[in-house]
Amino acid sequence: MSFQDSMKKKKLFNPEGNDTLSERKIVGGNTTNLFNLNNTSFKWATKLYRVMMENFWIPEKVDLSMDSQDYSKLDEHEVRAFDGILSFLVFLDSIQTNNLPKISEYITAPEISLVLAIQTFQEAVHSQSYAYIIDTLIPSEKRSKIYDFWRDDEILFKRNKFIAQVYQDFHDNDSNENFLKVLVADYLLEAIYFYNGFCFFYSLASRNLMQGTADVIKYINRDELTHVLLFGNLIKGLKAEGAMLPDDFVYDMFDTAVKQEIEWAQHILGDEIIGINGKTTEQYTKQLANKRLTSLGYKPLYEGFDHNPYTQFEKIGDIHGHGDVRSNFFEGSVTSYNQSSSVDGWDEI
C-alpha cells in the first residue's frame, strides 16, 4: 500500500492490530496503540524520547526578581520588541499545543506517538513560561495587550495566519497533501520561526539585562531543538515510505516562511536593538533556513548565506544544545537548578 492510499485515522481500540516491526509504519500501519518500548522500529524516536524526558524543567524555578527591575530600564524600542515577541511566542506555542494531537491521530508507530505526546506537554509548559514572565514583569494593565497584540498588529497577524491556516486546513480536510503540508509547517515553526526572537532575549542578556527571562528562553530553546529533530525525522521517514514531497512544494513554503520571518523581525526589532539590524536579520534567517533544508536532504535555497552573524548569542543561549543549559555567564537560581541531559551532543541523536 502506498502512502497516498494510507491516509486514515488509526483505530483507538484495535485487537486485530499488528505491531510487529516488519509491519510498522509511521503512517498507514495497523497498530494496536500498545506502547511496547522494548520493541521499537524507529530508534531515533526512542533516543529522542530519552532526551526530551531528561529535559524536564519547571518555569517557576527560574528567578525573575532582577528582571522586574531590568524591565523598567529598557528603552521604548526594547519594550516594544519584548512585548511583541512574547505575544508571537504565546500564539505559536498555544496553537501548536492544540495541533499536535491531530497529527498524532494518523501516526501508527507507537514510539513516535509517545514522543509527540511529550512535545504536546512541553508546548503547554512553554505557554505557562510566557504566562509566568508576563505575570511577573508586565504591569497588570498591559497584560491583555500582549495577549492581543497578534490581533492588532497587521504584520504579526499575517505571519501567524500563514502557519495557523495550514493547521486549520488540515483540521478541516485531512487529505494527504494537507497532512504533508502541516508537517512542513510544523517543521518551519520549530526550526525557523522562533529564533530571531530568541536572539533578541540573548542580546539583552549579553548586556546584563533580563537574564532570568533569557534563562527561561534557553530551556524553551533546548526543547525546540528536539522538536526540530522530531519533525525532521518524520518528514524524512515519510519520504522513505513513499510520501511525495516535491522540491517546489518544500521550497515555496520555506521561502514564504523566511520572507515573513525577516519582515516580522525587521518590523519588531528594526535597527534599534544593539547587535541586531536589518542586515543581520536577513543573514541569520536565510543561513538558518539553508541549514534546515540541508538537514532534510534538500539543497540550500539562498546562495551565499552560510554565515551566522549571531555567534556571540549562541554562546549565551547554547543554541546548538551542546551540554548543560547552565552557563557561567548567568547568575541566579537557574545556575544551581540542575537539569539533566541524556546525551553529550545532538550529533548522537
Q: What pLDDT is attached to residue 285?
A: 97
Which residues in 228-339 belong to E strands, given as ranges? none
* In the chain, domain spans: 42-348
Q: How far apart are CA 59 and CA 61, in angstroms?
A: 5
Q: What pLDDT is attached to residue 323?
A: 41
Helices 176-188, 76-104: axis angle to 10 degrees equals 150
Percent of the chain with pLDDT over 70: 88
- Residue 305, C-alpha cell as written in the block: 548565506
Residue 198 above 80 pLDDT?
yes
Residue 232 above 70 pLDDT?
yes
**Catalytic annotation, residues:** 130
Residue pair 128/48 in contact by the 8 Å Cβ criterion: no
Residue 5 above 70 pLDDT?
no
Q: What's the pLDDT tens digit per position in 288-299?
A: 999 999 999 999
Residue 343 above 70 pLDDT?
no
Q: Which CATH class is domain 42-348?
A: mainly alpha
Residue 334 above 50 pLDDT?
no
Confidence category of residue 50, pLDDT binned at 50, 70, 90: very high
- Which has the higher per-residue pLDDT, 323 or 48? 48
Confidence category of residue 131, pLDDT binned at 50, 70, 90: very high
Q: How far apart are CA 331 and CA 321, in angstroms?
A: 20
Q: What pLDDT is attached to residue 344?
A: 42
Helices 195-205, 278-295: axis angle to 10 degrees equals 130
- Residue 61, C-alpha cell as written in the block: 524555578
Q: What pLDDT is attached to residue 336?
A: 32
Residue 127 above 80 pLDDT?
yes
Q: How far apart are CA 159 and CA 181, in angstroms?
A: 16
> Which of 134-143, 205-214, 314-323 has the weakest average pLDDT?
314-323
Global pTM reads 0.89
Residue pair 214/317 in contact by the 8 Å Cβ criterion: yes
Q: What's the pLDDT tens digit per position in 237-267?
A: 999 998 988 999 999 999 999 999 999 999 9
When pLDDT is averaged across residues 5-29 and rounded to a whole number, the result is 90
Percent of the chain with pLDDT over 90: 84
When pLDDT is averaged across residues 70-95 and rounded to a whole number, the result is 96
Q: What pLDDT is attached to residue 244?
A: 86
Q: What pLDDT is attached to residue 316?
A: 76
When pLDDT is averaged across residues 200-226 and rounded to a whole number, the result is 95
Give the chain's mean pLDDT: 89
Q: What's the pLDDT tens digit per position in 140-159?
A: 999 999 999 999 999 999 99
Residue at grid coordinates 509511521: 26
> Which of 1-5, 197-201, 226-230, 305-309 has the weakest average pLDDT?
1-5
Confidence category of residue 6, pLDDT binned at 50, 70, 90: low
